[in-house]
Amino acid sequence: MSPTFGETPQRGKPVAAIGKPRSLGVAAVLGADREELHDLLECAGQPGSSPPVHQLDDDDTNTLSKWLREARDAHLLLFWQNPVLTLAQAMANQQSPDEALNQWMVTAEQNLALVRKNRRRITLVESVLARYQPQVLLRRLNERLALSLTSRSGSPSAMEAQNPLELLIADRAIKANLQALRVFQELQATSLPLGSYEELLPDPLSSWQAYHQEVTQSRADVESLKEKNQRLRQEQEQLKMRLKELDKEEDKMSSTRVQAIQDENDLLLKQLHHVQEELESYYLESRSLLQKYDQTEAQRKKLERQRNSAMQRARALQQKIDEMRDSRSWRLTKPLRAGNIFRRKRKS
């Protein structure tokens, strides 16, 4: 786990129990999909012993507040989608990442304010971790709400098909945005501990290899199109020369063969038109591939700059840590830190 994220929920972290509610409400915010999660909870309940599960279609904070006021003995499970996946989806859909992130932060702040007012009535759950680890989700809910939920499915849901490079770029963008990172950290710290989303991120080296293979294939396709383009141009020139020869022969031939020559000429013109259409198609395809190559090359350079910057920051942070641990004050306060750890263990 990256040290930039600070303390995020872990699978082994204890869960504070708050008692069994009479009913459960399921809502989804920040782009999370509530349908599958609602079905999971409804199927996991034991008839006669588990509270009914209600799906809340409106995720507006005012509507959720009203529902909490009216359903006094109910507990709200609020599933949220992390900003990494939100940014990656925006990039995949050709949307503005800045606008998507700003909208995510506004909605996240509103929901955090709602949770602060109703800490014992709302349980935040990161939707991706919940769908990927349903067994852990049910066990944590049982611990927190004194339920008896059991999974009846044999395998977790599949992760969303997302471009690995887009996920890694989105992850780096969140870590570089201090405001978004603060909101993300608060959501993680307040949520039911199911693990870390970073465990599900793709391996950078494997993603780079896949990207490199894609660029190599794009270059090969461009070269192949160039060869086809050149061959079609040669065929076009040959047909033009043949047409000129036929025009000269037409003047020398008798009138009895003029019609036959005209028919052949029409056929050659049709063939020439067909070749020109194919040439135009290959030309447009070649331009598209060249543009794609330029975009991927620019993306590669951007990723390389980000990687170098990240490595420099990591080395600088490690150097500061080493200097701190080598300092005299660190060594002198070692007994004090050991005493604090011992007192915390006795209290726990």
The whole-angstrom separation of Cα 153 and Cα 135 is: 9
The whole-angstrom separation of Cα 314 and Cα 342 is: 31
pLDDT of 306 over the 80 cut:
yes
Helices (H) and strands (E) in the chain, counts: 12, 4
pLDDT of 151 over the 50 cut:
yes
Nearest Cα neighbor of 159 from 194, 135, 129, 125 is 129
Whose structure tokens read 């259409």? 277
In this predicted structure, what is the pLDDT of residue 161?
A: 58
Please compute the mean of the pLDDT values over residues 315-323 and round it to a whole number: 88
Beta strands 74-80 and 23-29 are parallel
Question: Helix H segments across 82-147?
Answer: 83-92, 97-117, 127-132, 134-145
Average pLDDT over all residues of the chain:
80
In this predicted structure, what is the pLDDT of residue 182?
A: 93
The whole-angstrom separation of Cα 334 and Cα 291 is: 59
In this predicted structure, what is the pLDDT of residue 277?
A: 86
- What confidence tier does 6 reach under pLDDT thresholds 50, 70, 90? very low
Helix (H, G, I), strand (E, B) or coil at 159: coil
Residue that wins the pLDDT comparison between 27 and 153: 27
In this predicted structure, what is the pLDDT of residue 2?
A: 30
- What confidence tier does 260 reach under pLDDT thresholds 50, 70, 90? confident
In this predicted structure, what is the pLDDT of residue 3?
A: 27
Q: How far is CA 54 from CA 14, 36, 68, 81, 144, in A?
A: 27, 13, 12, 20, 18
How many other CB atoms are found less than 10 A from the CB of residue 258? 12
Please compute the mean of the pLDDT values over residues 327-339 and round it to a whole number: 78
Beta strands 53-55 and 74-80 are unpaired
- Do 268 and 243 form a contact (C-beta atoms < 8 A)? yes
pLDDT of 4 over the 50 cut:
no
Beta strands in 17-69 (DSSP E): 23-29, 53-55
Helix axis angle, 97-117 to 164-176, nearest 10°:
60
In this predicted structure, what is the pLDDT of residue 215?
A: 72
pLDDT of 218 over the 70 cut:
yes
Please compute the mean of the pLDDT values over residues 65-90 and round it to a whole number: 88
3-state secondary structure 269-337: HHHHHHHHHHHHHHHHHHHHHHHHHHHHHHHHHHHHHHHHHHHHHHHHHHHHHHHHHHCHHHHHCHHHH
How many other CB atoms are found less than 10 A from the CB of residue 115? 21
Residue that wins the pLDDT comparison between 344 and 134: 134
Q: What is the pLDDT of residues 157-199, one digit of tens each?
A: 444 556 777 888 888 888 888 998 999 889 988 888 888 777 7
Q: What percent of the chain stands above pLDDT 90? A: 5
pLDDT of 94 over the 80 cut:
yes
Q: What is the pLDDT of residues 272-298, one digit of tens each?
A: 888 888 888 888 888 888 888 888 888
pLDDT of 238 over the 70 cut:
yes
The DSSP element (H or E) to which 124 belongs, if any, is strand 122-126
- What confidence tier does 336 reach under pLDDT thresholds 50, 70, 90? confident
Please compute the mean of the pLDDT values over residues 332-342 and round it to a whole number: 77
Residue that wins the pLDDT comparison between 152 and 191: 191
- What confidence tier does 112 reach under pLDDT thresholds 50, 70, 90? very high
Helix axis angle, 97-117 to 61-70, nearest 10°:
20
Task: List 74's β-bridge partners, or say none.
Answer: 23
- Do 45 and 149 form a contact (C-beta atoms < 8 A)? yes
